Amino acid sequence: MNEILLTYLVLAITSALAFLSYCIPRMQSNVFILICSWVLFALFYAAGTMFNQEQQMRALISTVGQIDFYALVVDGMLCYLLYAGCLHVDIDSFFEKMKIILTLAIGTTMCSFFVTAYAIHGLLELLGIHYPMVTCFLYAAIIAPTDPVAVLALLKNLDLSKLLYAKIASESLLNDGVGVVLFVSVLKFKDVVQIDRSMLFDMVGFFLYEGLGGFFLGLSLAFLMLRYALPDRAANEHLKVTNRDIFLLMALLNFGYLFARLLHVSPPLVAVGAGLYTSYTVQHMTQANRSAVYVFWDTIDEILNYVLFFIVGFQVVFVDISQHYLIAMSLAVLVNFLVRVVSVSLPLLSIRVGYRQNTTLYKILVIGGLKGGLSLALALSVPRDFPGFDLIFDMTYAVVAFTVIVQGLSIERYLKVLQSRRVEDTVVI
C-alpha cells in the first residue's frame, strides 16, 4: 500500500475513533482507540479467513510489518509528545518537590531495572526457558520506566491538584529519559564479556553524558531562544501570542532534536529540558496567552497520541501465542506490578524518615505506572537476531496491554473513591 494512502487511512480511522470516544461519557480516548484497533484487526482477520482472502491478510500483515515503529515513535513523535506534556507541569511545584521527583525518577527506574532483570531471569530458568542475562537486562531497560505518553494521556482525564500532577508527570517524564539511556547503554555494551573498572567508568560516563547532557542542552537552548526572543507577556497584557511565537517554539523543539543527534545526547531529555523551561515562560503569561499556547500543543499532543495507540493495537499481529510464551507473558505482567510496588516504596521510604506516609501519592504512582508505545518502540528496535527478541516483544506487549487497559481504567475509579473520602495530597518534604 502506498505510504501516503496508508497515512491518510490511519489518520481517518483514528480521527473517527477519537470523535466517537468523546461522545461516550467518561471514556478514556487512548484506551478506547487501543481496544478498537484490536477489534478492527480481529474483524479483518475473521473476514479474510471466512472469505478465503489469505493473500489480502498477508498483505495487511506485511504492511504493518513495514512500519518502522522505533523511528516513528522515538525519532518522530516522542519529542513532540514530551515537550507538549511538559507545558502543563507547574514549575513552582516542580522546584518545591524536586527532591522527591528526582529520587523517584532515578531511584524507581534503577531499582526496577535491576529487580526486573533478575526476577525475570530466575522465573524463565524455572520454566526451562534459557536466555542469557543480557536479554533480561535489555527487557528490564525497556520496561523499567513508565511511559510518559501513556501517563500524561491518563493524567489529563484526572482531577488532580497542581502539586500532585507535577510529582507524577515529572517523575514519568524524567524516568523515561533515564530508561531510554539505560536501554541504549545495554545495547552498546551488550557484547562485553567482563566488566572491569575502566569499562564501568565508560558505562557511567556514557550514561551521564547522554542523560544530563541532553537535559541541560534542552534547558540551554530554551533559555537562549526564549529569554530574549519571546516578549514578556506577563509585563504587558496587551502583548498577545501570535503565530510567530508558536513557530519559535516549534523551531526550539526541532533544533533541539537536531543538536541532540549531532552531539549524541538523548533527544527525549532535550525535549524535557526545553519543555520545562518553556513551561516556566508560558506560566508567566496572561491566561489568554497561556490558553493560546496550550490549545496548539494539546492538539498536536492528542493527534500524535491517538495515532500512536492505534498503531500499537495493530502490533498485536506479531505476538507469539504459543504456550510457553503465554506463561512468560503472564509472569511478566505479575512481575511488572510487584516490582512497581517495590521500586516506588524504596525511594519514598529513603526520603520519608520522620514524615507521615502519603498513601495517596504512593498508590497513584503504583497504579499509574503505565507502559505504552515507547516501550514497544524500544522492544522493536532490538536487532532481530538478538537472543530472545520474540520473548522481549511478547512480554513487553503483554505488560503494555495490561497497564493501559486494567490500570488505566482502575486509577480513575480509585481517585473517585479518594475524592469521596476527601483524601488530599499531604506530603511534606
Indicate whether 423 pLDDT > 60. no
Residue with grid cell 508527570, as numbered in its chain: 169
Q: Confidence class of residue 225 from pLDDT cuts 50, 70 and 90? A: confident
Q: What's the predicted TM-score (pTM) here? A: 0.81
Average pLDDT, integer, range 77-81 = 87
Domains of the chain from N-terminus onward: 3-420 (1.20.1530.20)
Give the residue among 305, 268, 344, 288 at the shortest CA–CA distance from 86.
268
pLDDT for the residue numbered 357: 47
Residue-wise pLDDT for 281-339, tens only, equals 888 777 777 788 888 988 898 888 888 888 888 888 777 777 777 888 899 999 999 99
For residues 268 and 373, the model is more confident at: 268
Indicate whether 69 pLDDT > 80. no
Residue-wise pLDDT for 164-173, tens only, equals 777 788 878 7
For residues 390 and 237, the model is more confident at: 390
Indicate whether 262 pLDDT > 90. yes
pLDDT for the residue numbered 425: 46
Indicate whether 429 pLDDT > 50. no
pLDDT for the residue numbered 295: 87
